[in-house]
Structure 1
Amino acid sequence: MQIPLDYYRILGLPMQATAEQLEQAHRDRTLQLPRREYSEFAIQSRKQLIDSAYAALEDSSKRRDYDSHLIAAGGPAAIEPVSIEIYEGQLIGALLVLLELGEYELVIRYGRPYLSSGSGQLGQTAQETLADVVLTIGLACLELGREQWQQHQYENAAESLETGYELMLRESLFPAMQAEIQADLDKLKPYRILELVARPLGDKAARQHGVELLKSMLAQRGGIDGANDDASGLGVEDFLRFVQQLRSYLTSAEQQDIFEVEAQRPSSVGLYLSVYALLARGFARHQPNLVRQAKQRLALLTERQDVYLEQAVCAVLLGQTEEATYALERSHEREPISFIREHSAGAPDLLPGLCLYTERWLQQDVFPFFRDLDQSSVTLKDYFANEQVQAYLEAMPPDDVAPAPIPGRWGAAPPPSDPGRWGAAPGGVAPDYGEAPTYRRSSGAGTATAFGVGAAAAGAAGIGAAGAAAMGAGIGAAASTAAPPPRPTYTAEQVSSLSPEGSLDEVEPVSTIAFDDGGDDDDDDETLRRRSGAPKWGRLALVLLLGLLGLGVLGFIVAQLLGWVGALFSGPKLKGDPLDVDVSRPAIELPAEEGVSTSTNVQVIAEETLQSWYRAKGEAMGPQWNVEALSDILLEPALSDWTGRAQKNQSQGYHVEYEQTIQNILVEEVAEDQLKVTADVDETGQSYLFGAPDGSTSFEDQLTVEYSLQKQDDKWMIESFAVQ
């Protein structure tokens, strides 16, 4: 049978190799043995091919004839056209050689037919042959998967790894390798999920597969803020960063589906994020019933979390004007309150500013984190003008109050019974939602974790920073006030006299939210359950118009007021450099050999050249992606290779910062203008995605590297690298 190999590749030599190099390569290849799991038959089969290659090239006349044939076929670079003929017993040896050459796909192509065609014909017992072929294909799948991983082909990598795993599992062979492949698959899962959900919305099957993989991770971890080990290598905070990154790739319906399940675990993080999905969908799709669900679920967090601002937003969208204002008075969010007061100047209450805040927050700070809504443009005016919204608000029962608090840890009842989502307890008994951490808003400064500082995260939450102090004078009654004061109303004549036009200035994204272990509010829970009676969406439309008047004059004030706002979800993305999943490459201290120069001159040249290379590498792969620095130290083919890497990093938004220790530098003068330098390099790399650390792709390597140096225009440059 024909196998795509040639004698030079079997020995690992170029066609220009000398007779001495030929002999040395034969000796080295003979001494290098494959993994200990291989049978003696496989080892001898490989040795036969190496011996045959050496015998064919050792004789100068035979070698000339073979070289002519090889050149006519396209040379060693033409892998497929060039081949050698082997007999059946040499197949496993040929597969081993292809594996060592990195031809993983060829190993799989030529090895697979023999898994089902009866391997006894290869000259060995069927079981032994089967084990050798399975091992070789399994190793090829493992290495191919890792190679594809580093090329950011995550689904292809998973397919390769799964192929090898399933093969060995089916044959009940090599459990240690099965575990090794499974470990790679576990660590690869976050990358696969991100790749799948980032695909176009029309690719429904792939995106749904990504969602299912995410759900499986959540189940293994015990929830979005669970601490169970899913073998992905992501701790609690890293996983929250991962979820943070995913949200902008998921639609509002997908997020609602995922986070409602999380809320039922119970998980306060999942509950909070489900509220945002409901609120975003309700406003964008003109479905106030979803807003009402969001408002009811917020009541589960009120005892230990200041979510009154969010409740005020929900009340605005439900036309509950008095309840909206009263919830606003109970909030400790000083910056948003200040913004709302500024934009309610001259009005009898805070509703104009609250309406403006609601529209800005939803449009600019909530929608961008839902893939199907990030380009949506919906205004409060459009929302309240919708007939579906009007009909729902008119029909909404006047006794639509928040769920009454119940004794227990959270101090609030779950939403009305909905077995399909919440699994309401029988007999009216409320389920135990567990200890609920307290949220606090952060201004963004010093926030280092995904959903803010702390052990868990809550998602986007509006403008503002945490504040436990009392509100400034004129904001409203104290938190312990038993009932809201009467609110003024607007007449139909006032409504008709208002201009419907308005504009919104652009603002920065909102700050992140963090969990806090401390503190219950001392507010009277009973007062929160008050509402104004029948919905007054007409009045709300009026105050919305009032709030939109005069924004041109206030534009400068708005810009100054909002200058403090931090970037929402500015944590690291789960892209960037792939994990260093290569097989272990320990540093090797090479003994001195003949021909190694001890000349001070070439030693200094080597040291300075390596230092120049690592400086240029740091610039090219660093935050400025200074690719031009590479041309000052690298020649082809290394220049194209590293230029491509740096440009790819830049296109994906991540950079790497390196630290190296270089030692045991050995220099061999190959020619007057050529040096071969070997050095031990201990290198660490800290990866960053959009400026934020990405620990999952950082690495520590101990390598022995051989550098080929070429003198060009009186300057020493690096032509190629080889990791030993």
Structure 2
Amino acid sequence: MQIPLDYYRILGVSIQATHEQLQQAYDDRSLQLPRREYGLAIASRQQLLDQAYHILADPDKRAAYNADFLKQNTEFLINTESLVEDFAIHSIEIQPEQLDGALLILHELGEYELVIRLGESQINGTSEAINQQRQEIIFTLALAYLELSREHWEQQDYEAAATIAQKGLKLLTQEKLFPQLQAEILAEYNKLRPYRILNFISEDLAKAKERSQGLQLLQEMLQERQGIDGLGNDGSGLNSHRFLLYLQQLRPYLTLNEQLTVFETVSRPSSAVDACLNVYILIAKGFAHKRPNCILKATSLLDQLNKHQDVYLEQAICALLLGLTELANITVEKTQETAVLNEIREHSKDSPDLIPGLYQYTEKWLQTEVYRQFRDLKQEQVSLKDYFGDENVQKTLEDVSKTTKWEDLSSESNNIEDESYITVHPKEENDNLISITGEIAMRKSALSEYQYLPEPNFPQRDRGKRKSTSSTSKTTRTNRRIEGRTVGYTDNNFASPNYPQSEPSRYQEKKTSLIEKPDSLNTKNPRFKKKTRSKRRKFQPFKLLLLGIGLLGGLSLSVLALKAISDSQSPLAALQGEQLAISLNQPPLEFPLANAQAVLSEALTAEGAKEVIQTWLNSKSQAFGPEYQIEQLKNILAEPLFLEWQKRAIALKAQNSYWKYQHQLEIQSVMTDAQNPEHATVAAKVRETAQFNQNGKIVASRSYDQNLSVRYDLAQHKGQWLIQNITVLN
């Protein structure tokens, strides 16, 4: 049988190679062993290597071979129609039993399409009897599917990559062979899913079929994860925190009804993250569709969240939209968002209450914070006048005012529980409360510099070796690099050529970044400029999300830990929070910062890191101890982390409670970013023994002794290392 190969390619040398080069290439190729799954194919491969060397090492035989070789190439140049797609113009004759070795060599040369073409025809044309050679041909064929899928992934052709990977999986599954390779292909297939979803839902609304596929994939992903903040594994490579960021990227590309459909199926009553998301969806639906009953449902969810977060502004807005102006006026005055409250007061100067300012603020909030999260509402203009002027709305509001007492609606918000400042979870160090309740983990500018979608992690190989199957001619190949659609996401000002950017709200700050809006869908390697919104609110479900990850003890522990964050800021802003910069037109392997390697810090040594962390532990003991030396925190914590811990220490003192800590510290590693040496990450083992005292008595149920793995994010400020973020890893 004829195989489109030549002896020069088999040895990996050019036609001008000297005898010494031939000898060296033959020795090297003979020593290079393929994967351990191969058996007979290795022997067949070696036979072809021997055959090639035997011909080319003999001057007379090489001269005769070259004459025939050049003749075939000359004929090809005269009659280019002899080229069948990307098959080689030169071929050699092999025995049928050498096919497995020939396919292995073609695979090593990167001729994956050719391997698939020859391999499929071979296994489809033979009997079903399983023999070793057939198994090894199937193995090579599956490897070719895997590599070709990877190439399409790199070229952003995600559907082609997924389809090819599926073929490899189907082949191995049907043949019931090579479970390890099946798992390898399946792992990469699953990691493609976030890209495929993003690609599908960024299509125009008119492309219903593609968008439906994206929604189906997203629902499958959520079900496998067991919810937005569930503990299931969907194989995407996104942890819970990164998955929430990923959802933030998707939401502006989903319509209101699409979000209702997707998230309703996985919504859980006990999930604070689900509650935050549903508040936005219900408010948007209630206002846009003029259905106040939806806003009433959102109010119920906010009442639950208000036990643990400052959501008075959102509650006041809902009360206003329900026509409960007295409740709205009282509720808005309770918010700790002083800047917003002052602005509302400023616009209510000539009024006996705050309703005029709240009215104006609500209209702007709906436009800039709510509508922008929904694709079909993004360009709609918010008008409270039209909303209240609707007859159905008026009728519903009349019914609400008759059946609802605002005192009842506001009663829960006045209940402050004694344990609202709990700072301990049995499986977490106090430090982790910053990740749970503060905005630091989400707001760190560094987060926007990293890509949260999984990257193809392919074995290193020389892509340049993938040449045409002729040593002297270049075979025309289809350029697989598609000039795809670019969907760049930033801090809620996502860059999309399909949609104009929203005007920044008055609560936004313009900041410099690396992302700018692409000029068109077909722009290669576009440059972006990102506008980063400063968040008006500190309303973030990351704190609740990360809390939920650690609550393996059940709902009772969830309730306990939720009480711990009652003095934190509002969680809803996480659904408006920092977005990722991901371009579908830029190969994942070329993400600029994805390949940035952390290196050992020269500025911060292990001894220096230990001193910094020990200072923190000592300051923590002093601030939360019986002397309440709260000012010590400022010497080691960067803002706004310092403000969070200061607030907690003050609350602890007000409860006539304190902690006694004992710490044992072991530094495991000190890493810095090569591109940002003023930032460092310290991994440490911390044993924390904590004794809780309240009203002069030890409370054993809240005391604990834990061994923890903790990551500290540090930054230099005026020559001093301060802690920016603290994350408990176990």
TM-score grouping bracket, smaller chain normalisation: 0.5 to 0.7
Q: Highest CA radius of gyration, 1 or 2?
A: 1
1:365 CA displacement: 1.9
CA distance in 2, matches of 1:360, 1:22: 75
Deviation string, structure 1 residues 432-477 (Cα, Å, up to 9, x no partner): xxxxx99777898658779xxxxxxxxx999xxxxxxxxxxxxxxx
The residue type equivalent to 1:220 in the other structure is E
Deviation string, structure 1 residues 202-260 (Cα, Å, up to 9, x no partner): 33333333333333333333322223444433222222222222222222222223333
CA distance in 1, matches of 2:383, 2:410: 37
**Residues 1:522 and 1:203: Cα distance change in structure 2 (over 3 Å):** closer
**Residues 1:79 and 1:258: Cα distance change in structure 2 (over 3 Å):** closer
1:276 CA displacement: 0.2
Indicate the SS of the match to 2:131.
helix
1:174 CA displacement: 0.9
**Which residue number corresponds to residue 98 of structure 1?**
106
**Residues 1:192 and 1:169: Cα distance change in structure 2 (over 3 Å):** same
TM-score (norm 1): 0.58
Indicate the SS of the match to 1:232.
coil
1:39 is aligned to 2:39: yes
The residue type equivalent to 1:570 in the other structure is E
CA distance in 2, matches of 1:386, 1:443: 43
**Are the aligned partners of 1:511 and 1:566 in contact in 2 as well (CA < 8 Å)?**
no
CA distance in 2, matches of 1:461, 1:116: 52
1:69-218 alignment to 2 at 5 Å? 69-74=72-77, 79-86=86-93, 87-119=95-127, 126-218=130-222
1:306 is aligned to 2:310: yes
Deviation string, structure 1 residues 381-439 (Cα, Å, up to 9, x no partner): 2333344434543555621458979999x999xxxxxxxxxxxxxxxxxxxxxxxx997
TM-score (norm 2): 0.57
Pairing partner for 2:393 from 389, 392, 408: 389
**Are the aligned partners of 1:656 and 1:685 in contact in 2 as well (CA < 8 Å)?**
no
**Residues 1:263 and 1:33: Cα distance change in structure 2 (over 3 Å):** closer
**Are the aligned partners of 2:72 and 2:89 in contact in 1 as well (CA < 8 Å)?**
no
**Percent of paired sites with the same residue:** 40
**Residues 1:147 and 1:511: Cα distance change in structure 2 (over 3 Å):** farther
**Are the aligned partners of 2:491 and 2:578 in contact in 1 as well (CA < 8 Å)?**
no
Deviation string, structure 1 residues 616-661 (Cα, Å, up to 9, x no partner): xxxxxxxxxxxxxxxxxxxxxxxxxxxxx6xxx58xxx67545789
1:126 CA displacement: 4.2
The residue type equivalent to 1:31 in the other structure is L
1:169 CA displacement: 1.7
The residue type equivalent to 2:45 in the other structure is R
1:513 is aligned to 2:543: no
**Residues 1:336 and 1:685: Cα distance change in structure 2 (over 3 Å):** closer
1:357 CA displacement: 0.6
**Are the aligned partners of 2:305 and 2:311 in contact in 1 as well (CA < 8 Å)?**
yes
1:378 is aligned to 2:382: yes
**Which residue number corresponds to residue 64 of structure 2?**
61
1:83 CA displacement: 3.7
**Are the aligned partners of 2:116 and 2:141 in contact in 1 as well (CA < 8 Å)?**
yes
**Which residue number corresponds to residue 335 of structure 1?**
339
**Are the aligned partners of 2:491 and 2:580 in contact in 1 as well (CA < 8 Å)?**
no
**Residues 1:304 and 1:173: Cα distance change in structure 2 (over 3 Å):** same
CA distance in 1, matches of 2:183, 2:504: 56
**Residues 1:461 and 1:146: Cα distance change in structure 2 (over 3 Å):** closer
1:19 is aligned to 2:23: no
Pairing partner for 1:320 from 310, 319, 324: 324
CA distance in 2, matches of 1:95, 1:375: 56
**Residues 1:356 and 1:395: Cα distance change in structure 2 (over 3 Å):** same
- Greater shift, 142-151 or 307-316, is seen at 142-151
**Residues 1:294 and 1:391: Cα distance change in structure 2 (over 3 Å):** same
CA distance in 2, matches of 1:68, 1:340: 87
1:131 CA displacement: 0.7
**Residues 1:385 and 1:243: Cα distance change in structure 2 (over 3 Å):** same
CA distance in 1, matches of 2:440, 2:285: 25
The residue type equivalent to 1:290 in the other structure is C
Pairing partner for 2:578 from 547, 552, 570: 570
1:349 CA displacement: 1.2
1:515-534 alignment to 2 at 5 Å? 515=543
1:293 is aligned to 2:292: no
> How many aligned residue pairs are there?
479
**Residues 1:226 and 1:573: Cα distance change in structure 2 (over 3 Å):** farther
The residue type equivalent to 1:50 in the other structure is L
Indicate the SS of the match to 1:248.
helix
Indicate the SS of the match to 2:227.
coil
Indicate the SS of the match to 1:513.
coil
CA distance in 1, matches of 2:218, 2:152: 21
The residue type equivalent to 1:89 in the other structure is E
**Residues 1:2 and 1:461: Cα distance change in structure 2 (over 3 Å):** closer
The residue type equivalent to 2:145 in the other structure is C
Determine which structure has greater relative contact order: mean sequence separation of CA pairs < 8 Å that are 6+ residues apart, divided by chain length.
Answer: 2
**Which residue number corresponds to residue 49 of structure 1?**
48
1:318 CA displacement: 2.4
CA distance in 1, matches of 2:298, 2:89: 67
**Which residue number corresponds to residue 551 of structure 2?**
none
The residue type equivalent to 2:89 in the other structure is V
RMSD: 4.4
CA distance in 1, matches of 2:410, 2:337: 26
